[in-house]
Amino acid sequence: MDDNKILLVVEDDTGLQKQLKWGFEDYQVVLAGTREEAITALRRYMPPVVTLDLGLPPDPANASEGLKTLEEILRLAPTTKVIVVTGNDDRENAIQSVALGAYDFYQKPVDLEILKLIIDRAFQLDLLEKEKNKLQIDKKEPLSGIIAACDKMQKLSRIVEKIAPTQVTALLLGESGTGKEVFARAIHRLSERADKPFIAVNCAAIPENLLESELFGYEKGAFTGAVKQTKGKIEYADGGTFFLDEIGDLPFSLQAKLLRFIQERTIERLGGRAAIPVDVRIICATHQDIKSQIAEKLFREDLYYRISEMTLKIPPLREREGDAMLIAKTLLKRFSEENRKKISGFTEEAASAIESFHWPGNVRQMENKIKRAVIMCETATITLEDLDLSVGESDRRLPFNLKQVREEAETAAIKRTLVYCDNNISNAAKLLGVTRPTLYSLMNKYSIEI
């Protein structure tokens, strides 16, 4: 049954029920003759539109039962469009119904063509509202290049959007493989410098004796082998963004020179005397505990305050609820296309392993595992053997409060099942062992959107 085409008709007159069902053949008509039947049908089918006769048993002459039904429908499903059908002399209750939240009202005797126009308009409005809500949800999607659905990453994405247009110096903190450079590139891409260079230097990957010349450049004759004037990476970033990755590994001897550059925005090449102005946006990143390094006199405190005008802490993959499977499916698609293989997904055992694995190497480790799995896979789905994951018991500490444990468990189960089923509500409900209305109710309870 198409969820967008379900019309619930609440009417105790069996003759009129048949007339309405015949007259609205464009829709999947569900009939109810009492308040109890109406609420049961509402919970089961979650219809977008309801026609409600205020004169319901046990006293059809009294509108109180119909008004109670209206209030309960709107309490359970506030977005439902309820069209109240009243008697010819019952305008006062019709107006009261609209005040309570009814979408519209129609007075008997029923003219099917006119009532159908009202119903069609209600369905159209419901569709427009759903499209609008989807657009609003789409706007909350993570930034380009960042695959995530968890709240922590969503909040980080919003922070990036706010700081990107500014010139604030940002420090990105996170374990290796969490995507610090991806965030740095996102900041650059959303800034006014997007059409200028993005130059990245990994301080841990360059020997200390070469790092200074790599950063600041050198003049001809500055040292043995300096046969020509050479620009440093900072100069090449002029007008754009300069990304210093693993700044926690920057030698202490170079920290003072970097601090001077950040303060003055000028550099001096090795062997040179001229101050060269450079206009760059500076972003730094590290997996180190900078504050501990400051305490141990390994990192300059004044430099730390210069580079951390805005600090973003990127959570490890194990703390990103529901993201592991989402990232895995995205990587599977990419590596399947690269290797020209037709792989549709993961077995349930493999999916469970991906979600429960600790991922000490974060996204970078997952990339390696998924790429290996795609290469080794000989069927249409990735198996646990293909992934080569050894999954032990989870070390996640659960709270003692039973209500909190249940809510966290239900939220986590629903989110990962939706990801596994590509947000197909019917399939997710089957895997979870509940009905579609129950799943919708739980999603609403825990504010889970798709």
Taking only the tens of pLDDT, the chain with its 450 residues reads: 455 689 999 999 888 888 888 888 889 999 999 999 999 889 888 899 999 998 888 877 778 888 999 999 988 888 899 999 887 677 788 888 998 999 999 888 888 899 999 999 999 998 888 777 665 544 444 566 788 878 888 889 889 999 999 999 999 999 999 999 999 999 999 999 999 999 999 999 999 889 999 999 999 988 888 889 999 999 999 999 999 999 999 999 899 999 999 999 999 999 988 999 999 999 999 999 999 999 999 999 999 999 999 999 999 999 998 899 989 999 999 999 999 998 988 988 888 889 888 899 999 999 999 999 999 999 989 999 999 887 553 344 445 466 777 888 888 889 888 888 888 898 888 888 889 889 998 998 888 887
- Residue 89's domain is classified under what CATH number? 3.40.50.2300
Supply φ then ψ for residue 210, to 5 degrees: -110, -15
Residue 450 lies in a domain: no
The confidence score (pLDDT) of residue 238 equals 95
**Two tokens at 255?**
């920290």
How many domains does one find in the chain?
Answer: 3
Q: DSSP assignment, residue 249?
A: G
Residues 269 and 223 in one domain: yes
The confidence score (pLDDT) of residue 314 equals 95
Residues 302 and 218 in one domain: yes
Say how far residue 245 (Cα) sits from the centre of its chain. 26
Residue 145 lies in a domain: no
DSSP letters of 340-380?
A: T----EE-HHHHHHHHH---TTHHHHHHHHHHHHHHH--SS
Query: Parallel, antiparallel, or unpaired for β 276-277 and 266-267?
Result: antiparallel
Residues 298 and 437 in one domain: no
Q: Could you say which of 260, 292, 315 is where a domain stops? A: 315
**Two tokens at 420?**
């596994």
Residues 179 and 283 in one domain: yes
The confidence score (pLDDT) of residue 391 equals 56
Q: For residues 120, 122, 128 and 132, what is the CA-based torsion angle, rounded to 10 degrees?
A: -170
Instruction: Report the alpha-carbon distance of residue 5 to residue 7 in Å, rounded.
Output: 6
Residue 311 lies in a domain: yes
Residue 431 lies in a domain: yes
Residues 160 and 220 in one domain: yes
Residues 213 and 282 in one domain: yes
Residues 345 and 310 in one domain: no
The confidence score (pLDDT) of residue 134 equals 61
Residues 157 and 123 in one domain: no
- Residue 330's domain is classified under what CATH number? 1.10.8.60
Instruction: Report the alpha-carbon distance of residue 333 to residue 274 in Å, rounded.
Output: 52
Residues 177 and 79 in one domain: no
**Structural domain boundaries, residue 11:** 3-138
